[in-house]
């Protein structure tokens, strides 16, 4: 465990960015967003960046491969490049856990080499949540916001920043900052963890349970009459999906450049009418089915496939952004039978 | 705070349900918190979940398109003054059957913007409305703020407290207001083209193409949007490049020009807080300047100047010249 005075935070961030690219959430006109660090930029004090660190590992759109066409000759141009090591600073514990959810999908065969490249080189520095929001419910999914699952956990207490490396990558990063930091005992961090856990227990959604969902529950919930009412006023926009740290669906499109093709992928949303459209049409004809798909995927299909792990991390972004105030908490309470939780 | 409360509206709903005037109503449903209310259809059985507070900003006019197709019976809808303009505009465009709606106009003192409240504290336990708004927080104690400072932008620049459509009114009707809604448009017009480009580049760079602005817009009622058509090459999903984001918003602004009532739903729902209403207000102002004052939705059946030819119309070249000199 190492520490440094919070007054020297800028020196610490500058030191990291001299070694490798550093991304951190910075306040903008539209909330906190991850940007590449430059001297003078201050990390946002907001609890949640508007969009999660997912975007750095799985960007909203990216080129996969290019083709050069010359008459009947087609040349395949592999544009992949090994990226350099980089640091993502200030990832919330829920967003750090969300990367584990994405790992299950993208790092299984066939491995997504674009995602893997970034995951291999990315170092996740996660800030424990001293001031959780009323929209937080990470505990529902077994996440401990006092002890993030990441490379380096950081804590703020008594005017100091504490750095607790948790993986080899994290050890190396913290060791490289030895000249700025000093050794410390764990007591202040243990106290900070206790304070965080006390606050987590007091959150309005602290008692929300996901037990009713999980593997094997497809037939129980698929035809539930409640879906009609829950989805009744859904606009069919993609705000929830595009802010979600675990949504991972994408579409692939070939763009004709006149002398070749750029093959690009971009996020897709199960809320959209053209999602997974095939020659026979879109399998989910109304918004009710599209809405159901999103929540069944988070709460039933994903856990069924990946050892009971839910693909919601309780970050609460969907509670904040939905234009009609519908969200996974309301769905869980209505369907899971703990409406008064 | 609002002049009317939940109880007044529930009493009105019960009266109309009991009399058989309507068989259901469109209203706002209680959420987990004070601020996350959801539009819902109510009958006498579930009125307990009906709520009315200063977060009930959703414009119900567009919901009437789907709702009136469900039954020949009338549906009750509560309309704030700004909603009534969208209501009329949709009637002008023959988007729903007026006979299947019973519209009750309700006064509005302006709605609160939860993003502004979050600017004061990001752990909001409860919000109590009043001239001074009280915000009970989880970790920051009680915070108070003047109501005006927490009002949504569209309410600060409210164009009208007058209901332009209703079957009955609760309370006194208000007047069309002398608002400052074009001040920001004028400020943008006074910038150099490069500065203006930089402004929109910065704002639209945050667009994630979630389509919430389009999906909530009462003027966007096409059965199939060009942005949902894979054959258009412009279908929704993520923007392929920076240009696509602008293309989407520019096409949308053109498409709703002359029909946009300036209800402000686009900016209310934008999860990236892009001031989209400014694009529409620019068009409204230009139409006013070039063709004479026109307010979409002020009456049913009016023709927007840009779809109506008169011999007094400004020549296009003159419009361009005036805009350049602006």
B 141-200 residues with CB < 8 A to A: none
pLDDT band at A341 (very low <50, low <70, confident <90, very high): very low
Q: Which of A29, A46, A266 sits opposite B240 (nearest CB)?
A: A266
pLDDT band at B244 (very low <50, low <70, confident <90, very high): low
Cβ-based contacts of A30 with chain B (< 8 Å): 203, 206, 272-274
CB proximity list for A180: less than 8 A, separation 6 or greater: A4, A8, A11, A12, A15
Cβ-based contacts of A50 with chain B (< 8 Å): 271-272
> Looking at residue A290, what is its pLDDT?
97
Of A161, A171, A153, A190, which Cα lies nearest the Cα of A4?
A161
The ipTM value here is 0.94
The answer, yes or no, to whether residue A129 has pLDDT greater than 90, is yes
CB proximity list for B239: less than 8 A, separation 6 or greater: A60, A61, A266, B207, B209, B245, B248
Cβ-based contacts of B208 with chain A (< 8 Å): 51, 60, 238, 242-243
Q: Which of B139, B209, B228 sits opposite A273 (nearest CB)?
A: B228
Cβ-based contacts of A253 with chain B (< 8 Å): 240
> Looking at residue A123, what is its pLDDT?
98
Query: Would the CA dihedral through A174, A175, A180, A183 be positive or negative?
Result: positive
Q: What is the pLDDT of residues A160-178, one digit of tens each?
A: 999 999 999 999 999 999 9
Residue A39: phi and psi, rounded to 5, are -55, 135
Q: Which of B63, B122, B216 sits opposite A46 (nearest CB)?
A: B122
Of B304, B241, B268, which Cα lies nearest the Cα of B89?
B304
The answer, yes or no, to whether residue A338 has pLDDT greater than 70, is no
The answer, yes or no, to whether residue A83 has pLDDT greater than 80, is yes
> Looking at residue B262, what is its pLDDT?
97
Give the whole-angstrom CA distance, residue B119 versus residue A29: 12
The C-alpha of B155 sits at a distance from chain A's nearest C-alpha, in angstroms, of 17
Cβ separation B238–A253 shorter than 8 A: no
> Looking at residue B82, what is its pLDDT?
97
High-pLDDT (> 70) share of chain A, %: 99
Q: Which of B38, B239, B268 sits opposite A233 (nearest CB)?
A: B38
> Looking at residue B2, what is its pLDDT?
82
The answer, yes or no, to whether residue B90 has pLDDT greater than 80, is yes
Give the whole-angstrom CA distance, residue A269 versus residue A282: 13
**Strand order from edge to edge, sheet including A182-183:** A31-36, A22-28, A86-91, A122-127, A152-157, A160-165, A2-5, A182-183
Identify the residue with better confidence: A306 or B290: A306
Question: B44 CB near a chain A CB, below 8 Å?
Answer: no
Would you list the domain boundaries of chain A?
Answer: 2-57+68-202, 218-336
The C-alpha of A175 sits at a distance from chain B's nearest C-alpha, in angstroms, of 34
The lowest-confidence range among A16-20, B201-205, B318-322 is B318-322
**Secondary structure of B93-137 in the HEC alphabet?**
CCCCCHHHEEEEECCCCCCECHHHHHHHCCCEEEEECCCEEEEEE
Give the whole-angstrom CA distance, residue A335 versus residue A329: 10
Chain A: residue nearest B113 by CA? Answer: A320
The answer, yes or no, to whether residue A150 has pLDDT greater than 80, is yes
Cβ-based contacts of A61 with chain B (< 8 Å): 238-241
Averaged pLDDT score across all residues of chain A:
95
Of B40, B24, B49, which Cα lies nearest the Cα of A339?
B49
Mean pLDDT, range A135-148, rounded to an integer: 98
Would you list the domain boundaries of chain B?
Answer: 6-111+157-169, 114-150, 183-325
The answer, yes or no, to whether residue A301 has pLDDT greater than 70, is yes
Cβ pair A30, A42 in contact under 8 A = no
3-state DSSP call for residue B27? strand
pLDDT band at B324 (very low <50, low <70, confident <90, very high): low
Own/partner contacts of B128-135, CB < 8 Å, gap of 24 or more, are B129/B1, B129/B2, B129/B53, B129/B54, B130/B1, B131/B1
Q: Which of B125, B210, B273 sits opposite A237 (nearest CB)?
A: B210
pLDDT band at B300 (very low <50, low <70, confident <90, very high): very high
The C-alpha of B235 sits at a distance from chain A's nearest C-alpha, in angstroms, of 9
Cβ-based contacts of A140 with chain B (< 8 Å): none
> Looking at residue A314, what is its pLDDT?
98
User: What's B240's DSSP letter?
Assistant: S
Cβ separation B206–A277 shorter than 8 A: no
Q: What is the pLDDT of residues A10-31, one digit of tens each?
A: 999 999 999 999 999 999 888 9
Pairing assessment for the beta strands A122-127 and A152-157 based on DSSP bridges: parallel
The lowest-confidence range among A252-266, B57-71, B231-245, B280-294 is B231-245
Cβ-based contacts of B268 with chain A (< 8 Å): 323
Of A25, A83, A14, which Cα lies nearest the Cα of A52?
A25
Give the whole-angstrom CA distance, residue A84 versus residue B298: 59
* Helix, strand and coil percent figures for chain B, each rounded to 5: 40, 15, 45
Give the whole-angstrom CA distance, residue A322 versus residue B143: 25
Of A64, A58, A60, A114, which Cα lies nearest the Cα of A261?
A64
Give the whole-angstrom CA distance, residue A133 versus residue B140: 11
Mean pLDDT, range A179-189, rounded to an integer: 95
Query: Would the CA dihedral through B155, B159, B164, B170 be positive or negative?
Result: positive
High-pLDDT (> 90) share of chain B, %: 80
Of the residues B114, B208, B216, B273, the best mutation for testing chain A's interface (the one with the most A CB atoms within 10 Å of its CB) is B208
Question: B243 CB near a chain A CB, below 8 Å?
Answer: no
Q: Which two tokens stand for residue B95?
A: 């988007």
Helix extents (H) in chain B: 6-18, 63-70, 81-92, 114-120, 147-150, 153-156, 183-189, 193-204, 212-216, 242-256, 265-269, 277-291, 316-325
> Looking at residue A340, what is its pLDDT?
44
The answer, yes or no, to whether residue A69 has pLDDT greater than 50, is yes
Cβ-based contacts of A202 with chain B (< 8 Å): 138
Cβ separation A30–B212 shorter than 8 A: no
Q: Which two tokens stand for residue B40?
A: 């819902």
Question: B33 CB near a chain A CB, below 8 Å?
Answer: yes
Cβ-based contacts of A134 with chain B (< 8 Å): 33, 123-125, 138
Identify the residue with better confidence: A275 or A92: A92
> Looking at residue A276, what is its pLDDT?
87
Angle B293-B299-B302 (CA atoms, 0-180°, nearest 5)? 70
Give the whole-angstrom CA distance, residue A304 versus residue A315: 22
């Amino acid at each position: 465990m190492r520490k440094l005075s919070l007054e020297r935070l800028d020196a610490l961030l500058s030191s990291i960015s001299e070694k490798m690219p550093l991304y951190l959430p910075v306040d903008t006109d539209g909330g906190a967003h991850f940007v590449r660090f430059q001297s003078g930029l201050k990390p946002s004090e907001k609890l949640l960046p508007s969009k999660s660190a997912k975007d750095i590992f799985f960007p909203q759109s990216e080129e996969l491969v290019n083709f050069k066409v010359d008459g009947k000759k087609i040349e395949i141009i592999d544009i992949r490049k090994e990226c350099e090591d980089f640091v993502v600073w200030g990832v919330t514990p829920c967003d750090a856990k969300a990367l584990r959810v994405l790992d299950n999908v993208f790092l299984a065969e066939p491995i997504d080499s674009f995602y893997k490249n970034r995951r291999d080189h990315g170092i996740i520095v996660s800030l424990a949540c001293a001031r959780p929001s009323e929209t937080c419910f990470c505990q529902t999914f077994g996440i401990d916001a006092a002890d993030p699952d990441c490379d380096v956990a950081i804590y703020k207490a008594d005017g100091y920043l504490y750095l607790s490396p948790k993986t080899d990558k994290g050890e190396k990063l913290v060791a490289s900052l030895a000249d700025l930091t000093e050794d410390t005992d764990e007591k202040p961090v243990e106290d900070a963890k206790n304070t965080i856990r006390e606050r987590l227990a007091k959150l309005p959604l602290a008692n929300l349970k996901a037990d009713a969902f999980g593997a094997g529950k497809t037939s129980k919930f698929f035809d539930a009459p409640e879906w009609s009412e829950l989805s009744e006023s859904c606009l069919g926009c993609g705000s929830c999906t595009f802010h979600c740290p675990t949504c991972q669906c994408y579409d692939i499109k070939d763009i004709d450049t006149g002398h070749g093709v750029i093959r690009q992928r971009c996020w897709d949303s199960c809320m959209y009418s053209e999602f997974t459209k095939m020659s026979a049409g879109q399998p989910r004809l109304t918004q009710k089915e599209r809405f159901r798909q999103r929540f069944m995927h988070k709460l039933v299909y994903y856990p069924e496939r990946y050892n009971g792990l839910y693909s919601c991390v309780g970050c609460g972004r969907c509670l904040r952004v939905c234009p009609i105030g519908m969200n996974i908490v309301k769905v869980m309470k209505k369907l899971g039978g703990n409406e008064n939780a | 705070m609002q002049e009317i409360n939940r109880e007044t509206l529930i009493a009105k709903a019960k009266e109309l349900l009991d009399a058989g005037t309507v068989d259901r109503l469109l209203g706002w449903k209680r959420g987990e918190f004070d601020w996350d209310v959801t539009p819902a259809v109510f009958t006498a059985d579930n009125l307990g979940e009906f709520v009315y507070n200063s977060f009930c900003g959703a414009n119900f006019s567009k919901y009437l398109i789907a709702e009136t197709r469900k039954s020949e019976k009338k549906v009750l809808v509560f309309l704030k003054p700004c909603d009534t303009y969208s209501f009329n505009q949709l009637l002008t465009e023959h988007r729903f059957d007026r006979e299947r709606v019973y519209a009750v106009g309700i006064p509005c003192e302006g709605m609160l913007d939860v993003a502004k409240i979050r600017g004061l504290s990001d752990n909001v336990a409860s919000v109590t409305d009043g001239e001074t708004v009280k915000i009970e927080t989880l970790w920051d104690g009680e915070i108070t703020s003047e109501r005006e400072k927490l009002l949504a932008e569209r309410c600060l620049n409210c164009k009208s407290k007058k209901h332009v459509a209703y079957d009955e009114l609760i309370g006194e009707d208000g007047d069309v207001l002398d608002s400052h809604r074009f001040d920001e448009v004028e400020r943008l017009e006074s910038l150099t083209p490069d500065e203006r480009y930089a402004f929109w580049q910065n704002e639209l760079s945050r667009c994630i193409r979630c389509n919430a602005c389009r999906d909530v817009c009462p003027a966007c009622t096409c059965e199939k949007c060009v942005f949902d058509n894979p054959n258009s090459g412009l279908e929704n999903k993520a923007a392929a490049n920076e240009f696509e984001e602008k293309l989407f918003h520019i096409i949308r602004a053109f498409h709703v020009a002359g029909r946009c009532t300036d209800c402000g739903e686009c900016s209310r729902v934008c999860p990236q807080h892009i001031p989209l209403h400014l694009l529409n207000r620019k068009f409204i102002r230009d139409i006013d300047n070039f063709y004479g004052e026109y307010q979409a939705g002020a009456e049913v059946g009016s023709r927007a100047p840009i779809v109506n030819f008169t011999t007094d119309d400004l020549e296009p070249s003159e419009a361009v010249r005036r805009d350049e000199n602006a």
